[in-house]
């Protein structure tokens, strides 16, 4: 039986691939939250970035986000994908609101 290669996701253009940061399971007051009460986190870790969008003059715009950055994005941004049991989010660079330092 042949081994299958682990799929690699490479975002195109000005797209960004990220994994959501886990939501807190406990409030600051110490109350445990059930799965149904947790909000989807709006923060993620950048796994991969595209090469940048094409400008009208034919050159590529440099990406302001890089692999490994922790970012905040809009609530309903991007497209959720699942590869090998891992959840990822693909979204445009313009849907990223900030880089957390």
Q: Is residue 5 part of a domain?
A: no
Q: Is residue 7 part of a domain?
A: no
The structural domain count of the chain equals 1
| CATH at residue 63 | 2.30.33.40
Q: Is residue 96 part of a domain?
A: yes
pLDDT given for residue 21 in this prediction: 82
Q: Is residue 54 part of a domain?
A: yes
Contact (Cβ atoms closer than 8 angstroms) between residue 89 and residue 79: yes
Global pTM value: 0.73
HEC per residue, 45-62: EEEEECCCCECCCCCECC
Convert the pLDDT of each residue in 67-97 to its tens digit.
999 999 988 888 999 988 888 999 999 999 9
Q: Is residue 6 part of a domain?
A: no
* Cα→Cα distances 57→3, 18, 61, Å: 44, 29, 10
Q: Is residue 51 part of a domain?
A: yes
């Amino acid at each position: 039986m042949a081994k299958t290669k682990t799929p690699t996701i490479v975002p195109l253009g000005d797209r960004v691939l990220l994994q959501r940061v886990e939501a807190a399971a406990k409030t600051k007051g110490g109350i445990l939250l059930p799965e149904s009460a947790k909000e989807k986190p709006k923060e993620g870790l950048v796994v991969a970035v595209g090469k940048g969008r094409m400008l009208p003059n034919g050159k590529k715009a440099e990406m302001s986000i890089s692999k490994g950055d922790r970012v905040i994005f809009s609530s309903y941004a991007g497209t959720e994908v699942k590869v090998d049991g891992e959840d990822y989010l693909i979204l445009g660079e313009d849907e990223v609101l900030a880089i957390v330092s």
